[in-house]
Amino acid sequence: MNLALAGLVVLIIGDSHMSSRDYLITTLHDALINQGAVVHSYGVCGSNAADWVYRATEPCGRAERHNKDAPHVDAGQVQGWSIDELIAQNHPNLILVELGDTMAGYGQSSLPQAWIWGQVKSLTRRIKADNIPCAWVGPPWGSEGTRYHKTYTRVKEMSEFLSQIVAPCEFIDSTTFATPGDWPTIDGQHFTASGYRNWGDDIAASVVRLARQKDLTP
């Protein structure tokens, strides 16, 4: 079988969408493995981009998963990982960053652009220094009217802003995968199983396209 991502070692880092079983750490991870990639996934609930530079402590758990192993989940207050140590450990030739919801300032009157810029730049600077191809997955629609104060307008605004600032990472726009409200959530941000399955499959399809365009596979 000719697998599109054969030979690729993918490092995925992300926020709460990557920090629980059956979330992206299962669906996206499996979808990439099914295309032949070796995958190392790490999720830290509540993490912002710079937290992956300074190895921040976060209050709501973390998870990691290595290729075909089961996810290992730590609950409660945890220390995250730094991108430098993860690169040194896993030697990826593609880095996927799934970070958006934690930085979009849901509930605030305006998008905190300067703060997001500082966060994103601190992480992309490290990735750029190692000259590793990367892709940044933007936030999905989720649901409006919940305790996370997520709105479709802000999700779109955040996606457009990230698309301007994540270079040298390519931007994967999750808002193109569905229309608002298509994927049901349990709390406004986190999806039911079908939502994570759809999101993971769509991200993986984007990675396959990217790998072909950029000739990333060895």
Partner 1 sequence: MSSPSARALVIAVICAILAGTSAVRAAEPQLYPTGPKNGAAYIRFVNTAGEPLSITSRLARIDLPASGSRRATEFRAVVPEDNLAASSQEGGRTKMINLMLARNELVTVAIGGSASGGPEAVVFRETPTDFNALKVSIALYNADSHCANGQLAAGKQDTLIISGVRPGALGRRSINPINVAISGNCSDTSETQLPVNLGELEAGERYSVFIFDDGNGVPQFLGIHDEIGSSGP
Q: Which residues of this protein are in contact with partner 1, per CB under 8 A?
A: 48-50, 53-54, 56, 103, 105, 108-119, 121-122, 124-125, 161, 164-168
Shortest Cβ distance from residue 99 to partner 1 (Å)?
13
Shortest Cβ distance from residue 178 to partner 1 (Å)?
26
Shortest Cβ distance from residue 33 to partner 1 (Å)?
30
Shortest Cβ distance from residue 149 to partner 1 (Å)?
12
Q: Where are the alpha helices (DSSP H) in the chain?
A: 24-33, 51-54, 83-90, 113-129, 152-165, 193-214
Shortest Cβ distance from residue 97 to partner 1 (Å)?
13
Q: Which is nearer to partner 1, 7 or 115 (CB)?
A: 115
- DSSP state string for 18-75: GSSTTSHHHHHHHHHHTTT-EEEEEEETT--TTHHHHT-EESS-EEEEETTSPPEEE-
3-state secondary structure of 98: strand
d(CA 176, CA 140): 9
Q: Which is nearer to partner 1, 161 or 199 (CB)?
A: 161
Whether 52 and 92 have beta carbons less than 8 Å apart is answered as no
Amino acid sitting at position 125: R
The Cβ of residue 192 has, within 10 Å, a number of other Cβ atoms equal to 12
